[in-house]
Copies of this chain bind each other. A is one copy, B any other.
Amino acid sequence: MPDAPFIALFTDFGLAGPYTGQMKAVLRRAAPESDVIDLFADAPTGDPKAAAYLLAAYAAWFPAGTIFLCVVDPGVGGARAPLMIEADGRWYVGPDNGLFELVLRRANHARVLAIDWRPEKLSASFHGRDLFAPVAARLGLGEIPAHHAHDPIRHPARPDDLAEIIYIDHYGNALTGLRTSAVPPEAVLSTDSHRIAQAATFSAVPPGTAFWYENSNGLVEIAVNLGRADATLGLRIGSPVALST
């Protein structure tokens, strides 16, 4: 079964520590045919809002059938419901805390299910391992654990595209929550201190120059050729950007 669906991990666990490894141990035992892909282990920490824009942009690259195991869950152990969402042929498993707002808003067809299934032993702080991973594995086998239809908490005040930095990568590039489809190429992006024009790619601007470009997943990304945009421009997750033309 080489085409068993991917199970893609989208978490804020960080790269260190035992969390991802224990989740993978659960997945390997329960759904051995599915390839597990580390998409993000460093989604914005405890920030389901920023993470929601990142998830929607990156999930779209994956084939139909992919199951996203999503754990940005600062309210773990509290009252938020555990969800399974089917949206345009992909599955998403995680907490009802706004993390899926943009996936839902951009989907042509979606259904939201609250997970009724519970494991024999559920820790207070690691539902990723104890609840969400077993559910993702079952979905990977083509089964849908016990559930009921659910109206998730929606966040209508959030914009369709977020004019903020939502992620800083290893190179210091700053990803915004803006899709390039929503921004004309001639648009100028302004941070607190800089005005930034579009360029096709790094080598199109002189070394040390900031520019924005369409990244490989369709987001407006700010970079500095042969430099770090985060340090040069003073950007971090949550920094606002303004659009003008």
Contacts and interface: CB of A to CB of B under 8 A. Distances in A.
Interface of A: 2-3, 6, 8, 12-22, 24-25, 28-29, 32, 35, 37-42, 45-46, 58, 61-63, 74-79, 123-126, 129-130, 167, 169-171, 200-204, 213-217, 221, 226
Contact of A124 (B15, B58, B75, B200): B200
Contacts of A130: 216
Contact of A201 (B25, B38, B76, B167): B76
Contacts of A62: 25
* Interface-centre pick from A63, A78, A216 (highest chain B CB count, 10 A): A216
Contact of A125 (B42, B45, B216): B216
B20 A78 contact: no
Contacts of A221: 125
Given A16-B170, A75-B203, A77-B202, A28 B22 contact: no
How many copies of this chain are found per oligomer? 3
Given A123-B216, A125-B216, A125-B221, 13 more contacts: A14-B170, A15-B16, A15-B170, A16-B42, A16-B170, A18-B58, A21-B37, A21-B38, A21-B39, A21-B40, A79-B203, A124-B201, A124-B216
Contacts of A13: 170
A78 B39 contact: no
Nearest to A130: B216
A15 B15 contact: yes
A127 to B, nearest CB: 9
Contacts of A216: 123-126, 129-130
A171 B45 contact: yes
